[in-house]
A and B are shown apart, each in its own frame.
Chain A
């Protein structure tokens, strides 16, 4: 292939001066981490709550939780981003709408973090529900028979066991958050994918750019994987789950 390779490009100045391309990628990595970690925190809190609610005897609460999951699980992430960013503000009263569109601080970041958080929360909720469902029914009955209230049963008996069981699928979800955060470029968050597009346009060294960005995403997702594996090892209760390797 007739391609002019230049791996030194990362240390070169960008055309408008002052910074190197590496600085761009580092800024992008910072925003990727900020969006992903905020979204993951949201997703865990909402996901555990919604997932647990789906397993409660209350019809109404279970229905609301199911509605949340189906809403955020059935719409593509990119469409959700556009929906919150472009469509929802159009339905606000004119003054609010203009404030959201022009003056709201860090609106791209807030929209992206909320949207990715909600999207991921629906998936976390399904995994938590599956974890709760996999516990023997006797656990709940015994706990209630001992005089625990339903919230206490969830807090002290069901969730501590269910959450340990679902750590492996949650690990995948945590890794997905980093990968899915790339969609945030579409509403103008200056994250890694955004910076990669800028860098490739400015330098015309597209292959080197995407190699570097691929490596950075890999490092993020792999760090999430190792972190979760550590938590899994630390929180293991002997005899609760059969060791698989």
Chain B
């Protein structure tokens, strides 16, 4: 046996266990016999609780398909599925520290977050716009000068509004809700004339409000944000499995069916439809799946 053959044998011996055994998330899931999904309780209709307090929604369905792929790869059909509610504040630390294996909420994929976590291919695209009362006659951001405009504390919308203000020289009076429901309440009670937020969340809040016909989503798009399932960074084996599962849904047309089910048909708890057709950006992303961050969508 010459040196080169010896080296080759050594490499094969060293690599063999690595090929046979899972590492990272897959190993953890196999050892524990369970996988934990991070869910949001009111990210309508991506991930929310129905009237029986069960997590449902478009991204929950996508995650369930990914879990099926994990079961198939690990040959563990009895894998236990656990749910953990997460919030905007704790979702990234909970994914990073291993509490949550897949976050199935409404998380924007951006460059700052890619330093902490990885994302599956984008499965939803949201546009940051504003909701107004139809009676106010407001149709564009330029009409908001000197008026109170609501948004939710700790969201990217706050910064987008400030950046727009600087660029266009419009002076908003910013008011902040603790969460989306509070911020919508500000619009409802005339504390604010507009509420700036992701358009699907606005549509969800309007549909579930007392008088949906009074509100409209109007004005220019402040930002385009790709929303995706979140997983741990530096875990290539798991990332590959998740990507393949999501791309599989896209190629087979199943993602379109899920989209139609959650955005264009009556859904719980009120059995009304969001009536929110698929955007051109998402159609493109289904043809050419990508996990590129928001920054690449908003290059100016």
Contacts and interface: CB of A to CB of B under 8 A. Distances in A.
Nearest to A207: B93
Contact of B176 (A102, A188, A201, A202): A188
Interface string B163-187: 1001000000001111000100100
Given A1-B97, A14-B159, A200 B89 contact: yes
A62 B200 CA distance: 55
B275 interface: no
A186 B182 contact: yes
B27 to A, nearest CB: 14
B89 A204 contact: no
Given A102-B191, A204-B112, A2 B96 contact: yes
B143 interface: no
A230 interface: no
Interface in A177-211: 185-188, 190, 194, 197-198, 200-204, 206-207
A15 B112 CA distance: 10
Contact of A204 (B116, B147, B163, B232): B116
B234 interface: yes
Nearest to A204: B112
Interface of B: 88-90, 92-93, 96-98, 112-113, 115-116, 147-148, 153-156, 158-159, 162-163, 166, 175-178, 182, 185, 189-191, 232-234
Given A98-B190, A201-B155, A202-B112, A16 B162 contact: yes
B190 A101 contact: yes
Contacts of B115: 4, 6, 204
15 contacts: A3-B97, A14-B159, A15-B112, A16-B159, A90-B189, A98-B190, A101-B189, A101-B190, A101-B191, A102-B148, A102-B190, A188-B175, A197-B89, A201-B88, A204-B92
Contact of A203 (B112, B147, B158, B177): B112
A86 interface: yes
Interface in A46-103: 86, 89-90, 98, 101-102
A186 to B, nearest CB: 4
A80 B235 CA distance: 47
B112 A197 contact: no
Nearest to A15: B159
Interface string A13-25: 0111100000000
Contacts of A197: 88-89, 153-154
A203 B114 CA distance: 11
Q: Which of B148, B162, B178, B185 has the most CB of A within 10 A?
A: B178
Given A188-B176, A194-B154, 6 more contacts: A4-B115, A90-B189, A200-B89, A201-B156, A204-B112, A206-B90
A206 B93 contact: yes
Interface string A102-142: 10000010000000000000000000000000000000000
Contacts of B113: 204
Contacts of B156: 201-202
Give the secondary structure class of A's interface. Answer: helix
Contacts of A190: 176
A201 B116 contact: no
Contacts of A108: 175
B275 to A, nearest CB: 29
Nearest to B160: A16
B233 A2 contact: yes
A86 B185 contact: yes
A179 B93 CA distance: 24
B38 to A, nearest CB: 15
Contacts of A16: 159, 162-163, 166
Contacts of A17: 163
Nearest to B108: A201
Contacts of B163: 16-17
A3 B112 CA distance: 13
A95 to B, nearest CB: 12
B237 to A, nearest CB: 14
Contacts of B177: 188
Q: Which of A2, A86, A186, A194 has the most CB of B within 10 A?
A: A2
A188 B190 contact: no
Contacts of A14: 159
A186 B176 CA distance: 8
Nearest to A2: B96
Nearest to A210: B89
